[in-house]
Amino acid sequence: MNIFYAPPSQINNGFVELLDQEAMHASRVMRVKEGDRLTVVDGRGGWYEGPIRRITKKSLQVEVADQKHIALSKPALMLGMGIIKKRDRLEFAVEKAVELGATEIYLFRSEHTIKENVRMDRLEAIARSAMKQSLRAWLPEITLFHSLDEMLASVSDAMLLVAHEKVDSEQSNIDLRKLNAEKLLLLVGPEGGFSSNEIEKLKQQGANLVSLGNNRLRAETAAVTFLSQFI
């Protein structure tokens, strides 16, 4: 099954309009024809199905015959990741986070962050395609923060869970499957990990430190492992 993406602004008066890449992918790669039925999601929970009524060079119009709204999963799973230096590893993490149902993705610079610039356009394209691949109707927004503090200030209402590999004594022994929270913010450090300063700060904010096993995982593996505790 293939699904396509159109943001809410392209859904009007009972018609969904696919534009540019999406339209070209449907008509040139998938070779859909007028009259074929298409499924389109809007990234905000909207799921639309119906026949294609018009195909032009750069756009494709679908008449909405059926539609439903898919609720955002509960608890909301926000993933906060330190920026990873290697682009392909960061892209892998974003792709898998979307597949696993992250509802927001935050990237932050931290004390041990080496790299500063991030190709947001590429990450957004990867997120869109991972949403379609995993047949989801929600597209997590990806936000870049200049510091851990800036990120924490913008997400004040979530329960904070921090993946941390050296926790023995400090580690919380909470049961991740039985958390009573509407929103969870899962934090994963960059390659160099969180600094002790940052861990102190996070603990002061009430964060729970969570171990993901006795071995040291790469940041992107930690992100996947962390999120998969909640599916």
> How far apart are the C-alpha atoms of 151 and 108, rounded to whole Å?
7
Q: How far is the CB of 165 from ligand SAH (least distance, A)?
A: 4
Nearer to ligand SAH, 139 or 151 (CB): 151
Q: How far is the CB of 220 from ligand SAH (least distance, A)?
A: 9
For the chain, the straight-line distance linking the first and the last C-alpha, in angstroms and rounded, comes to 22
Residues lying near ligand SAH in the complex (CB under 6 A): 163-165, 188-189, 191-194, 211-213, 215-217, 219, 222
Q: How far is the CB of 110 from ligand SAH (least distance, A)?
A: 9
DSSP H or E run through 160: strand 159-163
- Which residue reads 């909207």 in tokens? 46
Nearer to ligand SAH, 6 or 207 (CB): 207
In the β-sheet with 104-108, what is the strand arrangement from edge to edge?
141-145, 104-108, 76-82, 183-188, 159-163, 208-210
60 touches 36 (CB < 8 A): no
Q: How far is the CB of 106 from ligand SAH (least distance, A)?
A: 14
4 touches 22 (CB < 8 A): yes
Nearer to ligand SAH, 51 or 192 (CB): 192
112 touches 193 (CB < 8 A): yes
Q: How far is the CB of 196 from ligand SAH (least distance, A)?
A: 10
Nearer to ligand SAH, 45 or 192 (CB): 192
Nearer to ligand SAH, 76 or 223 (CB): 223
